[in-house]
Amino acid sequence: MHKITFIIFSILLFAFNGYAADNKSKDNKESSSAAKAKAPDMSFNDDYFVGLKAYEDGLYDVAKSCLSNYLSHEDKSQKAGFATYILYQVYMAQNDFKSAQYTFTQLANFKDSRFDKQKMLKDQMFIETKLSCDGAKNLLLTYPKNEYLEVYVKSSCAVDKEVTSLLSKIDVPAETIYAVLERVQKDKALVFSTYDNLKAEKRTPKLMNFYGKYFYSNNMKDEFYALYKTYKDSELTSYVMEDTWKTGDYKKYIDTFKKEVKADYKLDKVVYCRMIEASNKEMVNFDCTLVDKCLGTKSPDYNKTKLACYMRKEDKENISWFIGTLTVQDTLKLCEYGKYIIGKNLYDIKFLNKFEKCPDKASMYESLLKFKDYNAILKLGGGADTQLDIAYMAIAYYFLGNNTQYNNYLNKLTDIDLSGMVKRAVSRGSL
Distance in angstroms (rounded) separating the CA atoms of residues 152 and 137: 8
Over 80: is that where the pLDDT of 7 sits? Answer: no
pLDDT of residue 43: 60
Q: Are 198 and 167 in contact (CB under 8 A)?
A: yes
pLDDT of residue 373: 96
pLDDT of residue 400: 95
pLDDT band at 1 (very low <50, low <70, confident <90, very high): very low
For the full predicted model, state whether its pTM sits above 0.85: no
Contacts of 44 (CB under 8 A, 6+ apart): 69, 70, 72, 73, 74
pLDDT band at 358 (very low <50, low <70, confident <90, very high): very high
Contacts 24+ apart (CB under 8 A), 142-149: 144/169, 144/170, 145/121, 145/170, 146/170, 146/171, 146/172, 146/173, 146/176, 147/118, 147/121, 147/122, 148/121, 148/122, 148/124, 149/176, 149/180
pLDDT of residue 314: 95
pLDDT of residue 384: 87
Lowest-confidence pick of 16-30, 77-91, 171-185: 16-30
pLDDT of residue 169: 85
Backbone dihedral angles phi then psi of residue 129, each to the nearest 5 degrees: -65, -25
How would you class 53 by CB atoms within 10 Å of its CB: exposed for 0-12, middle for 13-18, buried for 19 or more? middle
C-alpha closest to that of 98 among 130, 51, 62: 130
Distance in angstroms (rounded) separating the CA atoms of residues 242 and 261: 12
The residue-averaged pLDDT of 371-388 equals 94
pLDDT tens readout for residues 202-248: 888 999 999 999 999 999 999 999 999 999 999 999 999 999 999 99
The residue-averaged pLDDT of 5-18 equals 43
Over 80: is that where the pLDDT of 2 sits? Answer: no
Q: Are 144 and 166 in contact (CB under 8 A)?
A: yes
| Mean per-residue pLDDT over the chain, rounded | 88
Contacts of 387 (CB under 8 A, 6+ apart): 413, 414, 415, 418
pLDDT of residue 277: 97
SS3 154: coil
Distance in angstroms (rounded) separating the CA atoms of residues 112 and 333: 83
Cα angle 373, 374, 378; round to 5: 125
Alpha carbons within 13 A on the beta-carbon side of 149: 28
pLDDT band at 321 (very low <50, low <70, confident <90, very high): very high
pLDDT of residue 174: 83
Lowest-confidence pick of 4-13, 98-107, 154-163, 299-308: 4-13
pLDDT tens readout for residues 192-203: 998 988 888 888
Alpha helical stretches, state H, 229-288: 234-245, 250-260, 269-282
Of 255 and 327, the one with more pLDDT: 255
Alpha helical stretches, state H, 39-116: 44-56, 60-73, 78-93, 97-106
The residue-averaged pLDDT of 124-138 equals 97
Count of C-beta atoms within a 10 Å radius of residue 210: 19
Over 50: is that where the pLDDT of 29 sits? Answer: no
Distance in angstroms (rounded) separating the CA atoms of residues 118 and 114: 12
